[in-house]
A and B are shown apart, each in its own frame.
Chain A
Amino acid sequence: MGFHIGTKVKGNPQWIWSTFEQVDNVPTQNQPAEKKHYSFYKPNCSHCTAVNLPPPRPWNPATPHTYPSQIERVIPISPATKALNARYQAALRKIAVTSVWANYQLISTQWPTDANSSTDPTGIPAPTYLANTTLESYIQGDTRQTSSSCIQCHNNATMTNGRFSDFTYLLQRAQ
């Protein structure tokens, strides 16, 4: 459904972050639907959650059903990225007609525009925000310190002693 690829690159201490999604995941907010059916959005759904809102809390374990997600993409995929996707999907289908990877698309890649900035350890990322609708469904948008940003979030990663852990949360509970 969705995944990130974080790449540690020499000269870019903030890493470079790409995120991908299955093409049928969700429609884009305020744009005409491109597909007939989506995996995480159903038009006129009466029993779904409100768009981009998590289910009501607290969760009642006695409830026999879960609320279906109702998710829309808030920040559209750029035309350049759409063109790139079309090119690579076609290339994948050329070498393997049934390749499932041809059903995935790049959403965007976040990278530091000023990697060595002495005043901003996040390196002024571009784009400023980046969210995968299946992984950061409820924190999409453009509100600072709230909306999803790979670099800004991972910039807060520390080890058990509180020291910076180089953008990985894996060491947060390391013993």
Chain B
Amino acid sequence: MQDMKNFVELSAVLTGFNRSVLAPGLDPVDIKATYIETWQKNVDSGKNSGLSAEILSSFAGLQDQSPALTDQQIGERLLADENGLDFTMACRKLIYLWYMGAWPEVMASPGTESGGSTSFETLSSKSYTAGLVWQVMQSHPMGDSNYRYGYWAEKPVALADYTGNASDGSAG
């Protein structure tokens, strides 16, 4: 229970979406349950046993600091190089998971222009449609729309409505 609460808080900080969007009080979709399981399983695999717990614990520590840190400051500290590549990569992969509904594999290719490449596996049709990327686009997944006939003739609602951050201020 505490893990899930921390996980949602951590996800909100890393994705920039409001907690109420990622984990509504009434949550019939409940994609967070799939994501925490996927994240913990993959992050803790191999030599990194316990890494997900370490990240959640570090995050909780940052949240409890006094004076309080902003979400931006907490995010920057989590993604700082000094935490080590495995730690920061696990955080970055969590962002990818929420936005794409997919788990990424990053393959380093030293010496190439990009330095590596990323492949991914979409978890399910549910995670595909739940991807935050569609919300940021103020749009809908291909082949899946809850908008009503003729919606394309109207301006999308503000981005802040999608992210749940009323103070976002960005308009559609």
Q: Are A113 and B125 in contact (CB under 8 A)?
A: no
B146 to chain A, nearest CB (A): 5
CA distance A27 to B26 in the complex (A): 30
The yes or no answer to A49 lying at the interface (CB within 8 A) is: no
Q: Are B149 and A114 in contact (CB under 8 A)?
A: no
Chain B contacts of A35 at CB under 8 A?
none
CA distance A120 to B129 in the complex (A): 13
Chain B contacts of A47 at CB under 8 A?
none
Residue of A nearest to B161 (CB): A118
B162 to chain A, nearest CB (A): 5
Q: Are A144 and B126 in contact (CB under 8 A)?
A: yes
Given contacts A118-B161, A119-B162, A124-B29, contact A152 B148 (CB under 8 A): no
CA distance A143 to B149 in the complex (A): 21
Number of interface residues of A (CB under 8 A): 23
Q: Are A124 and B135 in contact (CB under 8 A)?
A: no
Q: Are A144 and B129 in contact (CB under 8 A)?
A: yes
Q: Are B147 and A121 in contact (CB under 8 A)?
A: yes
Contact with B along A81-125 (1 / 0, CB 8 A): 000000000000000000000000000000001100011111011
The yes or no answer to B144 lying at the interface (CB within 8 A) is: yes
Contact with A along B124-150 (1 / 0, CB 8 A): 011001000001000000011011111
B22 to chain A, nearest CB (A): 13
The yes or no answer to B67 lying at the interface (CB within 8 A) is: no
Chain A contacts of B135 at CB under 8 A?
119
- The contact of A163 among B146, B150, B157, by CB within 8 Å, is B150
The yes or no answer to A76 lying at the interface (CB within 8 A) is: no
Contact with B along A152-168 (1 / 0, CB 8 A): 10011010001110000
A-B contacts, 12 of them at CB < 8 A, read A118-B157, A119-B157, A120-B146, A121-B146, A122-B146, A124-B24, A124-B28, A125-B28, A142-B126, A152-B146, A158-B148, A162-B149
Write the residues of chain B forming the contact surface with A, with a CB cutoff of 8 angstroms.
24, 26-29, 125-126, 129, 135, 143-144, 146-150, 157, 161-162
Task: Across the A-B interface, give the 6 residue pairs with the lowest CB-CB distance, nearest first.
Answer: A126-B28, A113-B26, A118-B161, A122-B146, A118-B157, A164-B148
